[in-house]
Amino acid sequence: LNIVDNLEGSDFITPAIVDRDPVTIAIGTEGAAPVLARQIKADLEARLPSSLGALARIGKAFRHAADTLPMGRARRAFWSEYYTKTGPASMSKGEAATKAALDTLLAQHLAEAPAEGHVVFAGAGPGDPELLTLKARRALHEADVVIYDRLVSPAILELARREALMLSAGKEGFGAAMSQADINALIVKHASAGAQVLRLKGGDPAVFARLDEEIEACEAHDIAFSIIPGITAASASAAALGQSLTKRGRNTEARLVTGHDMQGYADQDWKSLARAGEVAAIYMGKRAARFIQGRLLMHGAAANTPVSLVENASLPNQRIVATTLGQLPSALAEAALTGPALTLLGLAPRDAVVPTLKQEVAQ
């Protein structure tokens, strides 16, 4: 028994249906909001032309002919053009005209030279899928191969096409990692085979991400590439604190530095960083915390200089450790951070922001 608008009195519920046979869209609210489901249905009914079903049926009958196109980008481009341009434009002239237009479109695509491989270097941002740029989102949809870093969140990887080849090229400081030479070879291999390759990096691809080495590998094999910037962890971490990286009267520059490099702990211009009011975002600085503290104190930094560590910036499990330079190693040990964390030297959380974001703050 099903009673409209009576969830408790119904043994089963059914979704609202938009029928453009063979295209069928079901809208369900689990009985919570039938009126909302009807509104969504009315909106979709108005948006989807009545000819959509015929367009899909013609396309289905033509699939065997379209299979002569190579799998992947070439075939996707053909069907995309049919459903967005050629098909709708010809349907007004009847189904026979649409079938003829499909034959013409297929001949045009078969005559085209095979697509050359291309590499897109894109930033996935700090982890929140909503901070992914529209351009990076489109690149995920178009990629045949996605080569991604350890810091790219699973929620972002879920946005890739189901048939895309997903390859992990994760790296971890002082831990297991795929060598840079192997990553370069992987990029070149798939792009040389004609694939649309997306090299997806956490944050921004141009900030401590070995971008130049991978570009040089592409250039050595005459492979075209493009770069899509992303929101870097420094910006996301400062936002989590409710602070800006620069402030009039406090600091005229903000530095992005790394805690370690290929040789181990990285040396910096410690004298400059130790000055009062300086702000620096230290990437990969957890393991180097005691080294960084020692160098800064040695060069005159005040022990009460504020330091904030932001773990998993922008994600639901984000945590902030607010401490001082003098207490940095002990605060880190007590917090036992396990996720990627960025160290912000010279910045403390803004008091009004932390309770609002319900973050765990260790003082």
CB atoms within 10 A of CB 122: 29
128, 144, 149, 204: the catalytic one is: 149
Both tokens assigned to 250: 């406090």
DSSP per residue, 62-114: HHHHHTTSPTTHHHHHHHHHIIIIIHHHHHTT-HHHHHHHHHHHHHHHHHSPP
Separation CA 249–CA 254 (nearest Å): 13
Overall residue count recorded for the chain in this entry: 363
Q: Would you call 12 exposed, middle or buried from its count of C-beta atoms within 10 A (0-12, 13-18, 19+)?
A: exposed
Nearest to 234 by CA among 259, 254, 261: 254
149 catalytic residue (yes or no): yes
Alpha carbon distance 152, 201 (integer Å) = 7
C-alpha 303: how far from its chain's center? 38
Name the active-site residue from 19, 60, 128, 171: 171
List active site positions.
Answer: 149, 171
